[in-house]
Structure 1
Amino acid sequence: MTHRDHPALVLHAANQDRAAGDLPLLHAVLERECERDGGRGAADGLRMAAVLIGVLGGPADHARLVALAGRSPLLSDALGEHGFPGTAAEVGAWAAALDAGEDAGGRPDGPGPVGPRDRSAFAWAALAAAQGNGPLVRGAFLRLLDGAGPRDGRLLGLLATGLDDLGAYRHAARAQRLHASLLDEPWDRGAALAALARLQRRAGDPEAALASLDRAAGVLEDGLGPHFPAPTVPTTGWRDTPLGARLARERARVTDEE
């Protein structure tokens, strides 16, 4: 395996090992990836490589990152989004904060409780997906799904989307079902159940899809129950809203395909 053939795997292995001896390889991966055209997955991979270099390296790597960012708009954007420091003395603290799951100001890096280990896995998986390594991405997502729990609502939503993009509809439905169960606003849960119904339909389970649509309508009509607070936004007249129309369209699709 070389950094040219499988940069996503190299990044993943370096992230797990955290060995200072990996610095030359990380430098080569970052330089190589800066030369490639890519989408958001590539940007996440660039940021991951830069953070690992900052964690494992030292102030001298600041000049290297600045020079590469000057040649790669994608790297420049990836670093700029997270407050890349202007001085070499600050690069270690910057990388450590991102590695711990915070931005440069000590705030959580992104909305929702997605831990640093999960974010690293997603950055690696996004880069692997951009390089056509679908089976590797699927395996990574399924391992995250197997380890997810009630505190992982944000993660479960991301997994549902990622598995849906891969065409793994049955697994995506599993993630989406768990995600929906953790939402405590009727509008949010109703929308999540509508998305679940679509995934169940795509997975070839029309009965489950219809049951999810029925649950969505029940939540919007009657609320979540006495143990939940009153909804922030009332659901009166929900059938005449875009979500109501979406539920009706999905029900028509399910019945047409039965």
Structure 2
Amino acid sequence: MTDRVLELLRTRPDLADLAAFPFDFDISRASHVEAVHLASGASLEPIAGDDTGGTYFLCGGTAVLHASSDGHASLLADSVSEALEILVRLPWWCENVSAELDEEGLLAAVQEGDDEAREQFAPELDTQRDALLAGLGLPDRPLTELHALAESATRRTEPDHLLLNSVELCAYQLEDSYRQPLRDIVLAPGRAALERSRSGDPAVWEEAAADPVLRAGALRAARSDRHDGDLPLLRFLLERENDVRTERFEERWLAAMLVGSYGQDDDVPLLRAATGGQITASAEAVDWARTEETRRPENEFVWIDLAQRQGRVEHARTALIRLLDDTGPDADRLRDLSRALERLGDHAQAARAQFNLLSLQDAPEDRAREASVLARLERRKGDLPAAARALDRARSALDAFPQGRRLGLGRLITEQHLELTLAAAEAGADELARATMTHARPLLAGIAKESAKSLSDLSTRAKWTVARLPSGNASRALPDGTGTPSPGIS
């Protein structure tokens, strides 16, 4: 459903002209300087522009996001109606408004800005403002309430309204003061559980212990906020970690580290079980805990992992994209980011990190391995020609490291050729499927027998799929409407 105020602006030229000048919300400029999209995948529609090249977008059909031409973006309001209220009653030329001002102070700040605007470019400002407010049917709410709405919207820009450049996939900037640290977001449930447990409610212990995600949050909250009286709770959580013995050992190790730091003789059997026999005395426990605390610092990936486990997928995605934007030629960091983004299911961003990682590889075996990973990511994001180009690079690197054919590296690259063959055939990219299978055959012949056997089902399907393709040179279009280049042709 079209927003009422937006529909009025589109059908009433007189109101649209007033919104455009002097309030700089021009629906005739509903286009942006570059292709953009929301990281969350929600709908994004340009609805107006300003005279500096910035654009107002409708997000998910309701909220209004403003993006500047210099790469900044923030949520302005939860509706077009609220956005126009803010722009008309707290206009851009009022530079002295702030959350610290009361109603009287805000009125004075707006009046000061209005006086300058009347003198410099809008002598009929009062008449224009009254006409636009009346024509759009906007309320006359207190300025403190209106300013609070604007501030609240800006603080909710992330994670759901993170704006990306659609070509480079980099995120638009948001002032740090409006961004809540991911650490604080994901620790909030654990901190709350920890505080309730300290209040003496025994039911909270079982609540925290029964939920593995809440248990993880409570342990990490306890690490950052140590209390002498927490030992019984920590001991209880460690007992539960020992009982469940999941494949996730991080929390068991963390619980053991926290319990061990107290150095109690009675805890030695529990610590011995948790650490596989490493702890045999209370003095050892204290030294071990200190060493582990230094060896296992908390970092961004800890909070990203916890966010995913809590179901905060967009928070995790936002943090990973921001990290990637800020990462230079750091191979280890790029690899971590690529793998984390792939686990999240964001193959486009994972491929961006992987492409940068590949550019840093000097050894041919490393180039071959990382190019194979890039091919997998490009295929999964749906860019089959890019996947073929990545496999070109993998084969070239493998030619410089021939012994890799008989190792796991050869199997890895062969598998990606077979997967791309099937994906290309399914997408109707017949020539790409044939060409990729042509490269796959000698790779299959060159890898170890055990590797070839493990790929037998996949290779059989790929061979039969290519055999069933229509004869002739005509190639169907890819789903995006482009043609199908042969591998290695940009």
TM-score (normalised: structure 1):
0.64
- Which of structures 1 and 2 has the larger relative contact order (alpha carbons within 8 angstroms, sep 6+)? 1
Equivalents in 2 of 1:178, 1:200: separation in Å?
13
Contact 1:197 1:208 in 2 (8 A): yes
| Structure with the bigger percentage of helix | 1
Contact 2:272 2:280 in 1 (8 A): no
Contact 2:379 2:420 in 1 (8 A): no
Match of 1:84 in 2: 278
Match of 2:256 in 1: 50
Relative to 1, partners in 2 of residues 1:254 and 1:211: Cα closer, same or farther, differing over 3 Å? farther
Once the 2 structures are TM-superposed, how far is the Cα of residue 146 of structure 1 from its aligned partner? Answer: 5.2
Equivalents in 2 of 1:38, 1:67: separation in Å?
13
Contact 1:194 1:246 in 2 (8 A): no
Percent identity of paired positions between Structure 1 and Structure 2: 31
Relative to 1, partners in 2 of residues 1:197 and 1:167: Cα closer, same or farther, differing over 3 Å? same
The within-5 A match list for 1:8-157 is: 8-15=216-223, 17-21=224-228, 23-24=230-231, 25-35=233-243, 37=244, 39-41=246-248, 43-54=249-260, 57-60=261-264, 63-64=266-267, 66-67=269-270, 70=273, 76=274, 79-80=275-276, 84-101=278-295, 116-118=297-299, 121-122=301-302, 133=311, 135=313, 145=324, 148-153=327-332, 155-157=333-335
Letter in 2 for 1:48: L
Letter in 2 for 1:30: L
User: Secondary structure in 1 aligned to 2:220?
Assistant: helix
User: Secondary structure in 1 aligned to 2:278?
Assistant: coil
Relative to 1, partners in 2 of residues 1:182 and 1:90: Cα closer, same or farther, differing over 3 Å? farther
Equivalents in 2 of 1:209, 1:176: separation in Å?
12
Match of 2:418 in 1: 249
Match of 1:214 in 2: 392
Q: Which runs of 5+ in 2 are unaligned?
A: 1-188, 195-207, 428-477, 479-490
Letter in 2 for 1:116: P
Relative to 1, partners in 2 of residues 1:254 and 1:218: Cα closer, same or farther, differing over 3 Å? farther
User: Secondary structure in 1 aligned to 2:280?
Assistant: coil
* Alignment root-mean-square deviation, CA: 3.7
Note if 1:190 corresponds to 2:368. Answer: yes
Once the 2 structures are TM-superposed, how far is the Cα of residue 91 of structure 1 from its aligned partner? Answer: 1.5
Once the 2 structures are TM-superposed, how far is the Cα of residue 132 of structure 1 from its aligned partner? Answer: 6.2
Contact 1:209 1:254 in 2 (8 A): no
Instruction: Deviation per CA, 1:45-84: give whole Å up to 9, x if none.
Output: 1112222333xx3211x532523654xxxxx3xx12xx72
Instruction: Deviation per CA, 1:96-140: give whole Å up to 9, x if none.
Output: 212222xxxxxxxxxxxxx7334x944x766776x6646266566
User: Secondary structure in 1 aligned to 2:298?
Assistant: helix
Contact 1:23 1:53 in 2 (8 A): no
Equivalents in 2 of 1:63, 1:143: separation in Å?
45
TM-score (normalised: structure 2):
0.37
Once the 2 structures are TM-superposed, how far is the Cα of residue 191 of structure 1 from its aligned partner? Answer: 1.9
Equivalents in 2 of 1:236, 1:169: separation in Å?
27
Once the 2 structures are TM-superposed, how far is the Cα of residue 178 of structure 1 from its aligned partner? Answer: 3.5
User: Secondary structure in 2 aligned to 1:40?
Assistant: coil
Contact 1:196 1:209 in 2 (8 A): yes
Instruction: Deviation per CA, 1:224-247: give whole Å up to 9, x if none.
Output: xxxxxxx6x766999x94345234
User: Secondary structure in 2 aligned to 1:197?
Assistant: helix
Relative to 1, partners in 2 of residues 1:49 and 1:143: Cα closer, same or farther, differing over 3 Å? farther
Once the 2 structures are TM-superposed, how far is the Cα of residue 10 of structure 1 from its aligned partner? Answer: 2.0
Instruction: Deviation per CA, 1:199-248: give whole Å up to 9, x if none.
Output: 12111222332222222233334x5xxxxxxx6x766999x943452343
Equivalents in 1 of 2:348, 2:255: separation in Å?
33
Equivalents in 2 of 1:100, 1:147: separation in Å?
25
Note if 1:200 corresponds to 2:369. Answer: no
| Structure with the bigger percentage of strand | 2
